[in-house]
Amino acid sequence: MTADSNASPSGPLSQLPLEHLSEALISSAHLACNVKKIRDLIGKERKIMGVVKANAYGHDAPYIAGCLEKLGVSDFGVANIDEALQLRQTKAICDNSRILAFCSPLDSHIPFYLRHNVTMTVTDFRTMHAAAAAAKAANRLLNVHVKVDTGMGRLGLPPEKAMELLSSIEENDHLQLEGVYTHFAQSTLSDDFTRRQTDCFRHLCSEFEHRFRRSVIKHAAGSGAIICQKNAHLDMVRPGIMLYGYPPDSTTTIGPELRPVMQFQAKIIFIKEVAPGTSISYNRTWIAPEKRTIATISAGYADGYHRRLSNCSSVTINGRSYPQAGTVTMDQTMVDLGNASRAAVGDTAVLFGWDGPSAADLADMAGTISYELLCAVSARVKRVFI
């Protein structure tokens, strides 16, 4: 054995390229196509806030935010201050690009909003007073957006109480009211409830702007409302799932223009022939009806391939679709190659993406939504930017 072959991880072997057992390809070209589609829907005069919360739905938030900024997006939405700090500390976007954190913060978090130029969501009088006190102590102005609860029932005051909150912020010397926003409960339905949400929000904003004789950034539309509620586009829209290539639900179609930004794939690491009656995986949920070839793929539910896809999904290998076989395990998934496949160890199996099944179709099989499948692709799956 040579010295190099027994090298430590920090030695020469660490310099060799490592072929990853599982990876998520992230396509900047597909992202650009989706941004163009959104602009076509909303017009050039409106702003886009790129929603990059939850690590950009699993796609790598710093990378996606940087790509979006190159495409003309200068507003970004995250869930909380931790996600905002990741964007600031990685220098993924310009220092003057706006980052809005949607969640109501703990009081101890507010100084970080001030220190790192993060826009805070104010949801009630308590958070307003805490924000004003922190800004006064720092002798700085804190940029805020007010969240109004028009029917989602999650965060914010109802419209009849929100005007008093807006007025109090406007009159406070330490808070700068940049925007007002709300969120739809069922944005893809043009029903009375959704129309009431829109009308109520528009009326509130109009009343505020008339009273104080200035405008604020008004935003309400996420992906569903971008497609289905044109009256709610207002000054800015907040696309999330659309950016990543999927409609908000299986009933909403927008044509072939949206392209999946992620392709989740993994290597075949083992192949064997099995006799009729052979069981595969935990609980013996799949039994070979005849002689079969079974491939083991190096991704399981710990990587983000949902256990509910057991025995009902398929993967694509060398351009051909094969059914998944047996219970999906933590680290591996088995596939029925039939009895005439040319697949080999080292070949790539596409779990979902542009060369394989759609994440939306798999989500339907698993009884969930594409958002969850994308977000579930775990950190041990290598992101490869193309």
Annotated catalytic, 282? yes
Is 28-244 in CATH node 1.10.3720.10? no
Q: Where are the alpha helices (DSSP H) in the chain?
A: 28-42, 53-58, 61-70, 81-89, 110-115, 125-138, 159-170, 192-212, 223-228, 359-366, 370-376
Q: What are phi and psi of 2, to 5 degrees?
A: -80, 165
Q: Which of 53, 147, 218, 267 is catalytic?
A: 53
- Concatenated DSSP letters for 193-225? HHHHHHHHHHHHHHHHHHHHT---EEEEE-HHH
**pLDDT at residue 142 greater than cutoff 80:** yes
**pLDDT at residue 165 greater than cutoff 50:** yes
Annotated catalytic, 305? no
**What pLDDT is stored for residue 12 in this prediction?**
54
CB atoms within 10 A of CB 367: 9
Note the pLDDT tens digit of each residue in 64-101. Answer: 999 999 999 999 999 999 999 999 999 999 999 999 99
Domain limits of the chain? Answer: 28-244, 262-385
The DSSP bridge pattern shows strands 262-274 and 22-26 to be: antiparallel
**What pLDDT is stored for residue 10 in this prediction?**
54
**pLDDT at residue 320 greater than cutoff 50:** yes
Pick the CATH number of 262-385 from 2.40.110.10, 3.90.1170.40, 2.40.37.10, 3.90.280.10: 2.40.37.10
**What region, left, alpha or beta, does residue 105 occupy, with left being phi > 0 and alpha being psi -120 to 50 degrees?**
beta
- CA 167-129-171 angle, to 5 degrees, is 30
pLDDT band at 188 (very low <50, low <70, confident <90, very high): confident
**pLDDT at residue 134 greater than cutoff 70:** yes
Look at residues 315, 313, 356 and name the one whose alpha carbon lies nearest to residue 337. Answer: 315
- Token output for 304: 């983000």
Residues 53, 78 contacting (CB under 8 angstroms): yes
**pLDDT at residue 114 greater than cutoff 70:** yes
Q: Which of 70, 230, 282, 291 is catalytic?
A: 282
Q: How much is the average pLDDT of 136-164?
A: 97
